[in-house]
Structure 1
Amino acid sequence: MSDQVTGGSDVAPADVVPLVQLVTPTGERVHEPDNRYAARVAHLTGDDLRAMYRDMVLTRRFDDEATALQRQGELGLYAQSAGQEAAQVGPAHALAAQDMVFPSYREHGILHVRGVDPVDRLKLYRGVDHGGWDPAEHNVHLYTLVIGSHVLHATGYAMGIQRDGAVGTGDPDRDTAVVACFGDGATSQGDVNEALVFAAVNDAPVVFWCQNNQWAISEPTTRQSSVPLYRRGEGFGVPSLRVDGNDALACYAVMAEALERAHAGHGPTFVEAYTYRMGAHTTSDDPTRYRERAEEEYWRQRDPIDRLAALLRAEGHWDADWAAGVDAEADALGETLRAGVRALDAPPTTSMFENVYATEHAQVGTERRWFTDYEAETAGTGQHDTEETAR
């Protein structure tokens, strides 16, 4: 545990806030006696660190390609994640296979580690699917665009796991936890606060993973809270802490501890991963209207990918041929993403009526029949074709 003088858009520039950090921005290990978080990464080998680096590089490339595809008109919108790779890839590596993740809409690194197909991740942003993947296949719920609503869903899911007896058994292949990912702005939403209440009083096995990228669209953290965000959890009686969100090892260690607590049936944890959004909130946003260039440059010098690369070099785990292979893999990912997204055709219009309810629903059935008749009546008249083009 080290101290960090917070700056930029954080709560108070003069405040010193406890911060879990294991690797400095220059890639050096933080050596502190009796550091329980350092002990949690002691088993990680050079191959483990290289795997994290690879996943972070591929996540950044995914982000760059998706942004370019949106600019080319292939996606309707895209939420960038550049700068937040450590706060996603690090904790994702700590997850057990049975753990369930509820992302918001920016957790591209977590989805990558969990094996969600990169093209499937963009179906929502292309507007051809309401989700894009099967949550049960990867134990990752669908992206949620309604700010904070999924945090309450995640808590309810965790309470269900608890009542199914899948926590506190001592069986590492059975004990299950839930991770709810959200941003700093979501902490101002009622659903997040309600979720903290339910989780605290029920000892729900959920980890609240708040990625504080310091800007809720154009609103700084100072407009969200008068105290560091991790103290929000404390107010509900949830053990809480702040971690350096640009330090992949620290994020791994903190998530590992929080998951251990949840798996054992000891309740929730609130983690504030202090990081920075290098890009825009979404591709419809212009951060130059509310952020200073000096602030952006300050955080670019603390790039989480560069930090892990520096650690790999310092500890003799860097290999030029291996690094070139990672870059080549990133190039291949870009080609796959471009071709795959452009090949995504619009689904049948009647698909909007599918999966609305788990069973047949009279009103939905009536609407489907009406729409089917409408399409048949307007087919070939030009009217329907014009409307399809407009859509």
Structure 2
Amino acid sequence: MKALCWTGINKLTVENVDEPTILNPSDAIVKVTLSASCGSDLHLLGGYVPGMRAGDILGHEFMGEIVAVGSGVQQRQVGDRVVVCSFLSCGSCWYCLNDLTSLCDNTNPHPGLGEGLFGASTGGCFGYSQITGGFAGSHAEYIRVPHIDTGAFLIPDGVTDEQAVFASDAVPTGWMGADLGGVKPGDVVAVWGAGGVGQMAARAAMLLGAEKVIVIDRLPERLEQVRTVIGAETLDYSDGHVMAELRERTGGRGPDVAIEAVGMEAHSERPDYLYDKVKTALKLETDRPTAVREAIMAARKGGSVFVLGVFGGFVDKFPLGAVMNKGLTLRSGQQHGHRYIPMLLERIAAGEIETGHLATHVMPLAEAPRGYEMFKTKEDGCVRAVFRP
């Protein structure tokens, strides 16, 4: 079958690879209908996440049709049209039973890598390096899905493929940031990043009752989507007045909840961006936390900050003093999608959450290397490149 493979830093090729087979009774094989690019994939592409091997298949946000099931599968069957959570959950360990499914103890066959880097391993994730298990990704014609009963969710009638695919990762990730960030009715929420996750975090905050939601970015096409589709306010950070503008729009206090949805390759117009660029180039720092710093400094006293963007290692000049002295609550995490996806699919079906607009460029899998180049450089207003095997 055809699959998009990582073959080196900033090198992607579509190659012929073996079709997946069922290895365990809880497995299923899914014929991929749509598979979306994600901003966190760019960290893999650029070599910022350790544990990539030449030939690894990328992709973790997808939907499709089940074409084969293992002997132990009970809840799903051949022919089901499903969206699959990007992280794997066994459904029975302590973390899964406590709805912390991205921290599953049983789905990552390479726990030592995460333990060495983070102090503990994460759960398994499709197409996201050996650190999260080395599972083949979804930018392929077929994919093996372990624990299909817990990880795949039936797509309601009336929800299109383009809408459903983002329920795999972007929608639950954004919702988790607003939910676990503590958004409540009447809050003012600021979201750094107007990509798919940032837009979904903004929409989630609105549905949770936020009085005002402000999304910060510099790309006009993304800010336009925020205004016209999501219905939130926008702020262009390229003018250099983010802190002052947030104070102005929040009565001088700052946002009640600050959500960072950018990650380890954040861009900024401030001097610390150049500082981070130099340090990462010299391998003295692994990540560029400019958006995290700004979110912490902007949040009101006693507010909360949720880090949704992916970070892989160590950052410098972290404003811990601001966290402590302002009494901030700082939370983060990979998405615990299993707790949210069924509810989110219902909201998509009801028209409460719109996702189809994120798929600005739908193309055949054969054009995926070009799609990622467009996605990375934001060419032609690309918000998400989506591939149809």
State the TM-score, normalizing by the size of structure 2. Answer: 0.32
Rg (Cα) greater in structure = 1
Q: Tell me the TM-score normalized by structure 1.
A: 0.32
Higher relative contact order (CA 8 A, sep 6+): 1
Larger fraction in helix: 1
